[in-house]
Amino acid sequence: MWCIEFDPKTRALTIWVAQLVSAASLRILQRKHSEALAATAGEPFKVLLDMRGVAPIGPDSATVLSEIKRAESALSTFRGRAVLCDSATVAMQQRRTSLDDGTGEREVVTLEEIEAQAYIRLP
């Protein structure tokens, strides 16, 4: 299960993912993610990836999620991403995929909502 939303006022793209996440479900999210990136209209934006309640993901799902992350970070207007988790295992997976896809320097993975919200605020 997932939901994606872009708020033009805060310039924040929020992606909520919950429960077990299949690669097929993430492929659908990936298509909607492309539409949400278009909604940023070339303006600077940050991303909040809320993965609270998500079970550790399998390799196929991790690959799709890395592709999603790579697509947003490839845009010159991308300013960073906060990944919010409530599982140390999921947080560890996300840190590893961030290093693998080269976005680690512009991403914070945290178990703290306050830290995630503070990170995605644009100056």
109: domain CATH number is 3.30.750.24
Residue 77, amino acid: T
Residue range(s) defining the domain that contains residue 73? 2-120
Contact 52, 21 (CB under 8 A): no
Alpha-helix runs per DSSP H in the chain = 23-39, 59-73, 88-100, 113-120
Place of tokens 């999620």: 65
Consecutive 10-residue averages of pLDDT for the chain (123 residues):
88 86 89 92 94 90 89 92 94 79 76 95 78
Q: How many domains does the chain have?
A: 1
What is the rounded CA–CA span in Å between residue 94 and residue 12?
A: 19
Q: What is the pLDDT of residue 100?
A: 58
Q: What is the pLDDT of residue 96?
A: 81
Q: What is the pLDDT of residue 119?
A: 93
Burial class from Cβ neighbours inside 10 Å (0-12, 13-18, 19+) for residue 88 reads exposed
Sheet holding 78-84, edge to edge: 2-7, 12-17, 45-50, 78-84, 107-110
Q: What is the pLDDT of residue 62?
A: 87
Place of tokens 């299960």: 1
Q: What is the pLDDT of residue 14?
A: 92
Report helix, strand or coil for 111.
Answer: coil
